[in-house]
Structures are given as structure tokens and as C-alpha cells.
Amino acid sequence: MTAKRYIFFTWCLMAAGVAGCETIQESLSLNKPTARLTDLKIEDVKLDSATLLFDVEIENHYPVALPLTNFDYSLSSGAEKFLSGNAESQAAVPAKSSRTVSLPAKFNYIEMLKALKGVRPGSTIPYAAELGLSVNTPGLGVIRLPLKKEGELILPNVTGADIIDIWNIIKPK
């Protein structure tokens, strides 16, 4: 009888452990942070560089601040991918709140215009953006939140330079 009690007791502990793991996993999945890409714009345009700003609204369900570690991005227009990269982020979302953060990514503006083949500064182009935001969560560690957005992007003119000279450099042959 002692062996049967031992087996029964062991089985009960294992069942309770499995049920406990599922409960913990369910509660953690309910608490995952959420994010959405609200805006995308190009700023600080120069001949050699520009800054792409991703505005991301992040909801933190945790009772502690949620640090953002880095992000990766990719932009395409039609079937043409014209910009991709990654950057670090030093932002954090306060505990049990939401926050919109602007994630800057620097890139070569002339190279981007070359990749767009025939698009001039000042044009409006359709885009599809994919962004992966990495956050350091308690319990789950670093997770990547995938974000997507489609819209139109106005390509700014370069100030302080002759656009015709730039166009002659980058125009398709």
C-alpha cells in the first residue's frame, strides 16, 4: 500500500505542477505588452543623410517599467524594398501605462532616392512599413513585437542644395 500511496502522491504533485505552469503561462501571455505604429515621417534631411521617425504607441501591462532595447525596420513601395536597418533604443514605458515613443533611424537620403528609381524629392509615395520592436519584459525576457503599417510618405526636398544637381546624380539611366 505504501508504494501505491507514493505513486498517487507523486502523480498529484505532477498534475498540480503542470496545471500551475499552464496558469503561469496564460497569465504571462495576457500581460504581454502591445504596440502599434501610429506614424512614420522623414525629418532632418541633408544631402548625405535623413532621419526616419517611427512613432510607436506601447501599452505596458506590467507593474514595472518596460525598457525598449532595439528595433529593426523595413520599408517598401510596391514590390520594391527601398530602406531597411536597425537601431538601438534607450526609451522605457512606465509601469501600468502607455506611452508613444519616437524611434529615430538615420539613413542615406540620396541612396534611398536611388533605390526608389525615378521618384523625385517632394513626391508622395505609397509605403508598407514593417517594424520589430524588442522589449525586455519581466518573466519572458526580451521579446520582439512585430508591427506593420501602410500609408503614404511625402519625400521632403533637400534644403540648401540645388535639387536639379541632386536629380542629375541620382536619376535612373
Cα separations in angstroms, 156 against 44, 47, 72, 110, 167:
9, 11, 23, 12, 13
Residue 57, pLDDT above cutoff 80: yes
Specify the pTM.
0.71
Are both 91 and 16 inside the same structural domain? no
Copy the grid coordinates of residue 129: 512599413
- Largest Cα separation within the chain, whole Å, is 94
CA angle (80, 124, 48) in 5-degree steps: 75
Q: What is the pLDDT of residues 108-145, one digit of tens each?
A: 888 888 888 888 888 899 999 999 999 999 888 999 99
Give the DSSP H/E element, type plus range, for residue 153.
strand 141-154
Same domain for 149 and 73: yes
Answer whether residue 61 shows pLDDT above 80: yes
- 51 and 117 in a single domain? The answer is yes
Same domain, 77 and 11: no
Give CA–CA dist 173/171, Å, rounded. Answer: 6
Nearest partner of 55 among 32, 38, 69, judged by Cα? 38
* pLDDT of 28 over the 50 cut: no
pLDDT at residue 17 tops 70? no
d(CA 57, CA 78): 26
- Could you tell me the residue range of the domain that residue 85 belongs to? 33-170
**The predicted structure's pLDDT at residue 79:** 84
Residues 91 and 144 in one domain: yes
Domain co-membership, 70 together with 4: no
Residues 117, 129 share a domain: yes
Between these two residues, 112 and 71, which has the higher pLDDT value? 71
Based on the domain organization, do 4 and 75 belong to the same domain?
no
Q: How many domains does the chain have?
A: 2
Neighbours of 56 (CB within 10 A): 25
Exposed/middle/buried for 93, CB within 10 Å: 0-12, 13-18, 19+?
A: buried
Which class for 12: exposed (0-12), middle (13-18), buried (19 or more C-beta within 10 A)? exposed
pLDDT given at position 156: 85
Indicate which CATH number applies to the domain containing 76. Answer: 2.60.40.1820
Closest CA to 31 of 126, 146, 138: 138
Instruction: Say yes or no: 11 and 91 in one domain.
Output: no
Q: 51 and 85 share a domain?
A: yes
55 alpha-carbon distance from chain centroid: 9
Residues 145 and 130 in one domain: yes
Are 3 and 54 in the same domain? no
